[in-house]
Amino acid sequence: MLKCKGFTLIELLVVIAIVAILLSVLIPALNTAKKQVAGIVCMSHLTSIVKCWTLYIDDNDSRLCNTHVPRSASYNSLSFWQSTTSFNGPYQDNAWWVNPPIKPDKTYAGGTSDDFMCDLKDEDLGNATGVLAPYLGGTKILHCPADKTYLLSTQRGGYRSYSGQDLMNGERPRDAKAVHKFNEIFTPADKFVFLENTDFRGWNMGSWMLNYGPPLGWIDSMCIFHNDRNTFGFADGHAEKHKWEDGQTITAAGRTSLAPNLGRDLEWLAMRYVPGKR
């Protein structure tokens, strides 16, 4: 009668040790590959977004859509900012690239306090009804797969991973450096329009801002989904990743207050932030 031989204890321990070693090598490699794939998808999304932005310009007599996303129940009114004392405005139209969170009857649903949160379906409806919606072909393109901030809490919102910058007909339309038509942009290949952005308070309201100086300084922080890099969409229709050189930039990612930092990262941003001649 044949006897079935099994593993000895030593052989079993050797097999377990080999499997553990293989897992210790494979899991980090898989995680790295997953992050690389997310970065490729993010680049593709931002490339598509800026190309849709240029298609809107072509169809609208070179006018830029508004990169501001207003936090207001009056978001769908013409000439949004009426106050003569506000540095924001007046807007000449309400051509927001995406709308704020809204209900099916188009009423505003994005909150009114400093903790402006929303239901994801309301945010999605707002994203699906802005002036770029017919060009985007869906709202999934507005999300970076590496961005998990919308999962932090229920009713938070924050699925949209990208914001427009405010000098591209955004939150400061009366700023001396703001542009409203494409032909006002100096060297479009060097000026970014959209970037990865997240807001700890909820959904991405407004537009991304920088104090271009003097003095040069931060207003909004970066959000860094790809290790030490961010993805930007430029006015000529291309996207690129940028690697940050200063550890403070990475440490401060997502914070509301930033330590003064006049390093190369801030200088790099400023050179690509002001759309017209500086």
Cα dihedral 125, 145, 148, 131 sign:
negative
pLDDT at 124: 95
Confirm if 108 and 72 have CB atoms less than 8 A apart.
yes
Within a domain: residue 11?
Answer: no
Residue 175 has which token pair?
């700023």
Q: What pLDDT does 101 receive?
A: 94
Rounded to 5°, the CA angle 239-170-245 comes to 45
Distance CA 229, CA 227 (A): 6
3 located within any domain: no
- Does residue 150 lie in a domain region? yes
**Residue range(s) defining the domain that contains residue 254:** 32-73+89-273
Per-10-residue mean pLDDT of the chain, 278 residues long, equals 63 76 67 71 95 96 90 68 44 80 92 78 94 95 91 83 94 86 94 91 89 86 84 96 84 62 82 82
Residue 93 lies in a domain: yes
Residue 27 falls inside a structural domain: no
Q: How many CB atoms lie within 10 A of CB 125?
A: 20
- Domains held by the chain: number: 1
Alpha-carbon distance of 277 to 272, in angstroms, equals 11
